[in-house]
């Protein structure tokens, strides 16, 4: 018994274990020590072997809610996993903004200032083609504000090919109709022409709406009218570009961006902040100064106002050149293969057979449907899927033909040891 007690690792040793050291920052030293104490007691009672004390301490940590998970699905913008992960500067900005901040105060003059001016100025600077910008809670809210302020009681002209369901049963036509604006549908599912739009425009037209099909593609006998042509119709064109790409990205040639869409003649562009922009959940509105001011002064704008944390994260995201989303999209496949191979070798040495396999990652529901990103994955027996999903931290892969694939494209490189340890923490089978 005395020998067993001596073999139980000490508290300082355990506090240096990477996952427990990381937990000190999130749940605090005292709570980590409580978890360590519980695990040590279990080992002293002989319930667990001394070499599993660290594991048991990690399992005994209080989990923050919601739980942080590792996204090894190969889906960059995974809606169920919270879409874009924030980068380190944005996380730091959120933490700093959590207390009292100067969100609506000019420290120089001591007077009230424009709320969230840092984020708004950064957005305006990132898209000089916009005369003015505004930010609301999400992409859907941006569209609701535009429809209410510019077309309530009137009509919005939209192609039948762009009546999109965003997800979870929410449909843009229903959303727009809820504002009191009437949708005037033109064209067919696969084809709409400029003449279709022209015939539908009249004195009740508030604007022409162009919606980017973010989560599907229609191929074959198709035709859609670009913003450039819609802009000749003599009514404002509101373009819901979806993903929040501010400038064109050669990797995603079919994904519309705010700058090009405004240059093509859109009066207003709406987009999400937590898709390809890689920022917090937010709805971006960019357009002519007069139009944006009308939106900003509309009573509904107050109900869609964003939190100071969102404004802080958005300003920091716009100030950081490379977001985690950008890094995941542009990751070099050969570097991903080397990382997977490194994990495979380490697991093999620990008696866990795994394979290095090529994989195909995707952007996800947030944009660029049909774009395939060549990637690499660690392939494990399917029985690992459940324990990894419910482990600490949860690691989510995807099951393909009886194998669990852990695609590293969206896993930050510094988390590779966490993936390795998570796999090793799954009880070895046959």
Ligand X SMILES: *Cc1c(COP(=O)(O)O)cnc(C)c1O
**Cα dihedral: 126, 127, 130, 132 (round 10):** -10
Rule CB under 6 A: is residue 242 a binding residue for ligand X?
Answer: yes
Contact positions with ligand X (CB under 6 A) in 175-204: none
Contact positions with ligand X (CB under 6 A) in 263-292: 272, 283
Rule CB under 6 A: is residue 166 a binding residue for ligand X?
Answer: yes
Q: From the CB of 79, what's the least distance to ligand X, in Å? A: 8
Q: From the CB of 304, what's the least distance to ligand X, in Å? A: 11
Among 203, 193, 257, which residue's Cα sits nearest to residue 229? 193
Minimum CB distance to ligand X smaller for 261 or for 356: 261
Q: How far apart are CA 165 and CA 184, in angstroms?
A: 17
Q: How far apart are CA 127 and CA 287, in angstroms?
A: 10
Please state whether the peptide bond connecting residue 180 to the residue before it is cis, i.e. omega within 30 degrees of 0: no
Rule CB under 6 A: is residue 173 a binding residue for ligand X?
Answer: no
Q: How far apart are CA 250 and CA 258, in angstroms?
A: 14
Q: From the CB of 368, what's the least distance to ligand X, in Å? A: 10
Q: From the CB of 40, what's the least distance to ligand X, in Å? A: 46
Contact positions with ligand X (CB under 6 A) in 199-228: 211-212, 214
Give the number of residues in contact with ligand X, rule: CB under 6 A. 12
Among 257, 147, 278, 179, which residue's Cα sits nearest to residue 212? 257
Minimum CB distance to ligand X smaller for 279 or for 391: 279
Minimum CB distance to ligand X smaller for 184 or for 210: 210
Question: Are the beta carbons of 54 and 17 closer than 8 angstroms?
Answer: yes
Q: From the CB of 269, what's the least distance to ligand X, in Å? A: 11
Structure tokens belonging to residue 87? 């980068």
Q: How far apart are CA 359 and CA 378, in angstroms?
A: 9
In this structure, the strands spanning 132-136 and 283-287 are: antiparallel
Q: From the CB of 409, what's the least distance to ligand X, in Å? A: 21
Contact positions with ligand X (CB under 6 A) in 70-109: none
Q: Which residues contact 234 (CB under 8 A, 6 or more apart)?
A: 201
Minimum CB distance to ligand X smaller for 74 or for 139: 139
Question: Which residues make up the interface to ligand X (CB under 6 A)?
Answer: 138-140, 164, 166, 211-212, 214, 240, 242, 272, 283
């Amino acid at each position: 018994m005395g020998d067993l007690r001596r073999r139980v690792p000490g508290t300082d040793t355990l506090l240096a274990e990477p996952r427990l050291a990381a937990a000190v920052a999130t749940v605090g030293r005292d709570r980590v020590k409580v978890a360590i104490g519980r695990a040590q007691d279990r080992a002293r009672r002989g319930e667990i072997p001394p070499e599993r004390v660290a594991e048991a301490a990690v399992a005994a940590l209080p989990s923050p809610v919601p739980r942080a998970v590792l996204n090894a699905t190969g889906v960059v913008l995974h809606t169920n996993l919270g879409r874009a992960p924030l980068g380190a500067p944005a996380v730091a900005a959120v933490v700093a903004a959590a207390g009292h901040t100067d969100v609506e105060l000019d420290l120089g003059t001591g007077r009230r200032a424009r709320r969230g001016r840092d984020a708004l100025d950064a957005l305006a600077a990132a898209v000089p083609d916009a005369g003015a910008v505004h930010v609301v809670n999400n992409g859907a809210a941006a569209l609701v504000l535009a429809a209410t302020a510019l077309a309530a009681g009137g009509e919005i002209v939209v192609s039948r090919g762009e009546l999109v369901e965003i997800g979870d049963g929410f449909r843009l036509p229903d959303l727009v109709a809820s504002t009191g604006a009437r949708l005037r549908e033109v064209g067919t599912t696969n084809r709409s022409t400029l003449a279709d739009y022209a015939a539908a425009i009249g004195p009740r037209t508030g604007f022409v709406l162009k919606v980017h099909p973010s989560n599907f593609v229609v191929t074959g006998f198709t035709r859609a009218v670009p913003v450039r042509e819609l802009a000749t119709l003599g009514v404002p064109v509101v373009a819901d570009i979806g993903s929040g790409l501010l400038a064109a990205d050669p990797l995603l040639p079919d994904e519309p961006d705010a700058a090009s869409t405004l240059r093509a003649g859109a009066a207003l562009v709406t987009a999400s902040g937590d898709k390809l922009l890689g920022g917090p959940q937010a709805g971006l509105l960019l357009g002519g100064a007069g139009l944006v001011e009308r939106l900003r002064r509309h009573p509904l704008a107050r109900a869609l106002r964003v939190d100071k944390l969102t404004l802080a994260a958005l300003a920091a995201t716009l100030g950081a050149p490379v977001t985690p989303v950008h890094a995941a999209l542009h990751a070099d496949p050969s570097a991903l293969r080397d990382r997977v191979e490194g994990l495979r070798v380490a697991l093999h040495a620990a008696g866990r057979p795994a394979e290095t396999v090529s994989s195909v990652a995707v952007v996800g529901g947030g944009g660029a449907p049909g774009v395939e990103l060549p990637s690499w994955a660690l392939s494990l027996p399917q029985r690992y899927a459940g324990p990894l999903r419910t482990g600490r931290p949860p690691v989510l892969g995807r099951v393909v033909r009886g194998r669990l694939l852990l695609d590293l494209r969206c896993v930050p490189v510094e988390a590779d040891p966490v993936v390795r340890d998570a796999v090793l923490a799954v009880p070895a089978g046959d």
